[in-house]
Structures are given as structure tokens and as C-alpha cells.
Amino acid sequence: MSSQQQSVPVGQAVTAAVKRTHPAAWLWLSLVVIVLDQATKFLVTRFLDLYERVEVLPVLDFTLLHNTGAAFSMLAGASGWQRWFFIALAGVVSVLLTVWIWRTPRGEKLLPLALSLVLGGALGNVIDRIAHGYVVDFIHVHWGASYFPAFNIADSAITIGAGLLILDAFRERR
């Protein structure tokens, strides 16, 4: 190693490596979200009956539910067309998110992180819709008798990703 190579500070070397990293490298995170989501749904469906409630904490239950609708069970009572609509919508959105991640400038961290979380969550839920015709929800948060709609790991990733997208938009304004 030459003396010139040894004199590069570690911080500069890491910054240079990050700037060379293509945003598509963040797609591994989408895969992690999908695997965690599907693994937790597998375990819940294996060990809980539909509507069975297991108290985890005084404000958190695991309750196996099937959601044929969208967020907060919107359109759950529709005649079945919503399954294919949500599958198609998630497919289109997933392609758009992947292209957006791919086109993000090198060195960006927050935007591809956010997009990868949303992508992983969308694909985790679409796998359920294709395989079962519904999304498996099981995380049930409540305060006393007031319950928040049940959700899953994919929904959590989508929510966190959306929050990071908003944060990134505010960050870009400055």
C-alpha cells in the first residue's frame, strides 16, 4: 500500500463508498420485510385460530384476522373484485417504486430506505392476497376498550416508509 492510500481518513473512505453505492442496493431491505412479514403471518396462522386473542402486553394483543379490504378494512364488504384490484394496484405501485429506487441518485439514503420499506410491505400484503384472497392481520393495539385496527409487519413497513418519505420531502425543501 502506498503512503498516499494510507493517508485517506476513514470518514472520507466511508463517504466515498456510500456515494458509489447504487440505491438499488437498498432492495435487500424489501426482501427482509417480505421474509419477516411472511414468517410472522405463517406462525400466527399456525398457532392461532381465527379471531383468537392472545394478550402480549396490557395494550397489545395478537389476534388472527383476515382482511379482504384495504387499510382499515375499507371495501372489505365488496363482492370480491377488490382482491384483483388491490393485486393489480400493488403490482403497478411495486414496479413504479422499483424504478424510483433505481433512479435515485447515488449517495441518497433516506429516500431509497423509505421506498424499499413501502415496496417490501406492499409485496408482503400482495403475496397474501394472491395466496389466500385476504391479508393476514394480527397485531392489535388498544387502550382499554378502544382498539386500533389490526395490522401486520408489512403494514408497519409501509407506514414507517411513508413517514420517511414525508421526512425526506421536508428535508429537500431546506
Residues with a known catalytic role: 137, 155
Give the integer Cα–Cα distance in Å for 143 and 13. Answer: 48
What values do phi and psi take at 58, rounded to 5? -60, -20
Tell me the three cell numbers of residue 27: 432492495
Beta partners for residue 140, in sequence order = 61
Give the integer Cα–Cα distance in Å for 9 and 144. Answer: 54
Give the integer Cα–Cα distance in Å for 42 and 138. Answer: 11
What values do phi and psi take at 36, rounded to 5? -60, -45
For the beta carbon of residue 39, count every other beta carbon within 10 angstroms.
11
Give the integer Cα–Cα distance in Å for 4 and 152. Answer: 52
